[in-house]
Amino acid sequence: MIEIIQLVLDLIFVFFIIFLLIRTSSLAKLKTLIKESKKDFEKLLIQAEKWSDEIIEKLNLKEKEGKELLRRLEEAHKKLLEEEKKLIVESPDLEKTKSVLLLHNQGLSKEEISKGLNIPIGEVDLILDLIDYIKHKRKK
């Protein structure tokens, strides 16, 4: 009887050892897979950092280009504003412009203004269009 119990215990022990060997083998494979995954992840991380650096470099370059373009646009805008002021202030037909504006504000048509001031209707159109342009520009 003791021999049977001993035999059963030995069999249980053998099965337990086989189970542990199988389990250890699976864990070793899992450990290998984890190491490989870690290496792959590290490679991907390095590549992502390179791409990130390239993107940041390109964005910085575009920012510099944008700032330069904005600076040039601001300079051109200032020059245009100065030219606009010169045209208004230095206009030899300032009295004519004032007269057209005054008559227009009184409700006269372009044709009536043209006949009344003895100037072409195209000139009346031009004067009123310039005044509208200047008004809209100042609102912005």
Tens-digit pLDDT profile for residues 108-132: 999 999 999 999 999 999 989 888 8
Buried b (16+ CB within 10 A) or exposed e, 34-62: eeeeeeeeeeeeeeeeeeeeeeeeeeeee
Residues 81 and 102 in one domain: no
At residue 90, the pLDDT reads 55
Tell whether 80 and 97 lie within a shared domain: no
User: Alpha-carbon torsion 81, 86, 89, 92, what sign?
Assistant: negative
Domain-embedded: residue 51: yes
CA distance 64 to 58: 10
What pLDDT does 125 receive?
A: 92
Flag whether pLDDT at 83 surpasses 70.
yes
Residues 139 and 96 in one domain: yes
- Categorize the per-residue pLDDT at 55 as very low, low, confident or very high, splitting at 50, 70 and 90: very high
* In a shared domain, residues 139 and 99: yes
**Phi and psi, residue 28, nearest 5°:** -65, -40
Phi/psi region, residue 119 (left: phi>0; alpha: psi -120 to 50; beta: rest), is beta
Q: Find the domain containing 137 and state its range.
A: 92-140
Q: Which residue in this structure is represented by tokens 């002021």?
A: 85
Judge whether 5 lies within some domain: no
In this predicted structure, the answer to whether residue 49 has a pLDDT above a threshold of 90 is yes
Domain annotation covers residue 112: yes
Domain count, the chain: 2
Asked if 118 and 75 sit in the same domain, the reply is no
* 14 is a domain residue: no
pLDDT per position as a tens digit, 4-35:
888 888 888 888 787 877 777 777 788 888 89
